[in-house]
Every structure is written in structure tokens, then in C-alpha cells.
Copies of this chain bind each other. A is one copy, B any other.
Amino acid sequence: MGTTEQATAPEPKYWHLRTVLLRAIDSEFATGQVIPNERELASRFGVARATLRQALDQLELEGRLVRRRGIGTLVAAPRTAVPVSPAEEGWPGTGRDAAWRIVDCVTAPPSAALARALAIPASEQVHTVRRLRMTGSQVVGTEALHVPDSAVPHLPGFVGDTGRGRSVLRQLQRLELAGESRAVELGVAEAEEARLLERPPGTPVLVVTTQYAAQGRIAALAVSTYRADTCRLTFGQTGLVEVAPVGAGLAEVRTAS
């Protein structure tokens, strides 16, 4: 039997369109190339623009298309692998490599939720370092690194925002890292985050929550958000074998049988 089950599957138009467009961009377009505009495509396929946009929304979510207002819709580059693990991002990314860029550092009492997550009394001050994760000159992620004051007792007095941030990171680095546990989930970027990521609000992001344990307590809690459209997070034991750049071929592998 073929693909012709009809009984029960009235495939929505937008889903069919997505499939057709996906095939098209895979075979007829190169990375970075502009595809025809939405009104053109809609009329070409004989659907309303809203319906076509539904299909494009899907492909954008999959990281296959990028839409730029005033410009057009482009075929996206394969997602960039972003290493997320002690070795690469380390305690600090102390500036040795340019992977992280400190935005600022504020010291304040924790919110209730934060105090709970850090397992500290609400009265203890918390240093929050805001950083940007860079890939070359591209911002791909943001991070809020929350550090209880007691974990980094020896901070210098008068330095700027980023200066204190650097000090916090250096202090952390001196601690013996006993372990870390992570969680990854899907979220959307709100106003401030979206601005830092240079994306509109509502942009889907991968949210990574990391608890760093040292000296039998939680030494830091990092909440990082990465652009879901352009990032593939890699958790390498940096093992023997390189993670194959499955990238765009991933769909192939997923559906291979």
C-alpha cells in the first residue's frame, strides 16, 4: 500500500505547503538566498497569505528559514553547535576566549524563588552577572549567573559593573567544582532578553538551568537562554568521537528507517 490512506487524514494545507517548501529550499536554494516574497508565494500556491505564513512559521521554528523585515525571507544557515559543558564554557569563560561577554553585574537580595533555588536565606546578597554568549561576533545566548555572596567573599571594592562581574567569575574559578546538574527546556524570550538576542519578543529559546555545586553547597545558579533558531547545544564529554555534524541531515536520519 502506498501513501494513499485517505480515510482519516485531511492534511492541513499549511502542513502540505511546509513540506513542498522544505523540499524546494533543500534542492533549489542555497544558504542565505532570498526566497520569493510571501504575496508571490501565496498566489503561486493559490492560498491566502495567512496560510502561507503558517507554513513559513513552521520552517522558521525548525531553523530552516530566517525572515527579515523589509528584506525578505532567507534560507537559514545550518545551526551552529554551541558547546555547553564545564570544559568549554567552564566556570568562567574568563575572557581567555571570547565566548562570553560580560554585560553587567548587580548585587541585590534574591527574589523568593531565587533564594529557594540557591538554598540560601532571603537576607543574603546575591551577585548576578549578565553575560552574552558569542559565536564570533554573533550573539547566540544570554545568561544570568546568580552567585551567593558567601561563595565569593573576597570581592574588590571599587570597580565598574563588568569589573565586579569579572571578579565574581575569577572567584568562582578558584572553587573546586564538585558537580553540576542541568536542565534544558523550551521558552520564549521576553523584552530584555529579546533585545540582547537581537530578536523580537516571543522568540523561542532553549533555556538551560545549571546548578554548580562546590564545597557541599550550591555555589552558583546559571540561567542561560540560547536562540533556538540558530543554536544546537552540544553536551560533550568531549569524548573520543566528534559529534557528527548531522545538522541539516538530521531530518534524514530521523526519518530514515
Residues of chain A touching chain B, judged by Cβ–Cβ distance below 8 Å, are 3, 11, 15, 18, 50, 58, 61-63, 79, 81, 106, 108, 110-114, 116-117, 119, 128, 144, 146, 178-188, 190, 192-193, 195, 198, 201-202, 204, 206-207, 209, 211, 213, 216-218, 221, 223, 225, 228-229, 231-244, 246, 249-257
A192–B4 alpha-carbon span in the complex (Å): 11
A232–B110 alpha-carbon span in the complex (Å): 24
Q: Which of A108, A184, A239 has the most CB of B within 10 A?
A: A184
A254–B223 alpha-carbon span in the complex (Å): 6
- CB contacts (< 8 Å) of A111 on chain B: these are 252-253, 256
A230–B66 alpha-carbon span in the complex (Å): 26
Measured CB to CB, the nearest residue on chain B to A193 is B254
A211–B216 alpha-carbon span in the complex (Å): 32
A244 contact from B15, B18, B116, Cβ within 8 A: B116
**Copy count, this protein chain:** 2
- CB contacts (< 8 Å) of A116 on chain B: these are 244, 249
A234 contact from B62, B182, B242, B257, Cβ within 8 A: B182
A182–B81 alpha-carbon span in the complex (Å): 11
Inter-subunit contact A241/B181 (CB<8 Å): yes
Contacts A63-B186, A185-B231; A15 near B237 (Cβ below 8 A)? no
A184 contact from B117, B211, B233, Cβ within 8 A: B233
Inter-subunit contact B209/A250 (CB<8 Å): yes
Q: Which of A81, A108, A178, A254 has the most CB of B within 10 A?
A: A254
Inter-subunit contact B256/A178 (CB<8 Å): no
- CB contacts (< 8 Å) of A241 on chain B: these are 119, 179, 181, 211, 213, 217-218
- CB contacts (< 8 Å) of A228 on chain B: these are 185-186
**Given A184-B235, A192-B255, A211-B243; 14 other pairs, CB 8 A cutoff:** A62-B186, A111-B252, A113-B256, A128-B257, A144-B256, A146-B253, A180-B237, A181-B237, A182-B235, A182-B236, A182-B243, A184-B206, A184-B233, A186-B204
